[in-house]
Amino acid sequence: MKKDFNQIVWNEQLAEDVRKLIALAISEDLGLSGDITTLAIVPEGVTGQAVMRARQSGIVAGLVAAPTIAAAIDSNLKWESYLRDGAILNGDLDVLGKISGPFRSILNAERMILNLVGKLSGIATLTRRYIDEIDGTNAKIYDTRKTTLGWRRLEKYAVKCGGGMTHRTGLFDAILIKDNHLAFGASELAVDEKYTPAIAVRKAKQYGQKSPIRNKNGEQIPIVEIEVDSLEQLTEVLPERPDVVLLDNMSPETLRQAVKMRNESCGENPMNCEFVELEASGGVNLKTVRAIAKSGVERISVGAITHSAISLDVGLDF
């Protein structure tokens, strides 16, 4: 690939996201009174341990966050991971990790750790199912911004654990000209200059070259992408050589035509051509994704891998 979005990896920023989420989780789960069942049943000072087991097959994600959650509950809790994020789970026999320390604190931390690992593992597992469906093609699966508020970086991390690719993390991360931007450019609101999709790409590339805006790695904004919903619009924007063209809600046959048009746009010297990658989006599910991938597009963005993933079943056994 010529250029790509910043790819999510586990770092201190994600650990801080976990700390913020757990602060909210502690407030909603323990309130002002604490775990009144555990306070009534378990004597203070008792210690113990529990192991986390997978109760179904899939791909694990989120184990790296477990120590952060444990420490937020009680600094005396200790977490030990037996697997790495991205590992394949075969079912009931898989032990993911062990938590030990004050028994009351283990019970307080139990649901928070299980919820996070289950949610992220569900995303990683669904992502892998999409990747398996397109095996043997040149396409890659990308996530979207259709994520849970406050969980975006964590959910995109889970996509990476499942083998997927990170699309832009936020509005700050890349230029993506969508249909509503084009609607603005064609409306009376654009009083200075009305513009076509081609002009929009030109303006975006000029902004990226001149703007002091940098991505989170301190690099100049690397990607200019535009969404089109017809082959006519694709014909118009290809000469402007955006980095990526998003082909919205197109059939596999139309996508194949788009790939042919893109390839022919380079003329007789494709090696000297500034390559434009094509991204399919809209109408993507497990039944359609292979036909989409076989059209020849390089990228397929799938909102479902984050907004429709079902949590993986994991539990703590004491």
List the catalytic residues. Answer: 111, 146, 178, 227, 248
Q: Give the DSSP letter string of 289-311.
A: HHHHHTTT-SEEE-THHHHSPPP
End-to-end CA distance of the chain: 48
Alpha-carbon radius of gyration of the chain: 23
251: left (phi over 0), alpha (psi -120 to 50) or beta: beta
Provide the residue type at 20 as one letter: K
Task: State the Cα–Cα distance between residues 285 and 291, nearest whole angstrom.
Answer: 10
Q: Which of 294, 305, 318, 286 is nearest to 148 (CA)?
A: 305
The DSSP secondary-structure symbol of 85 reads T
Q: Token digits for 14?
A: 């994600």
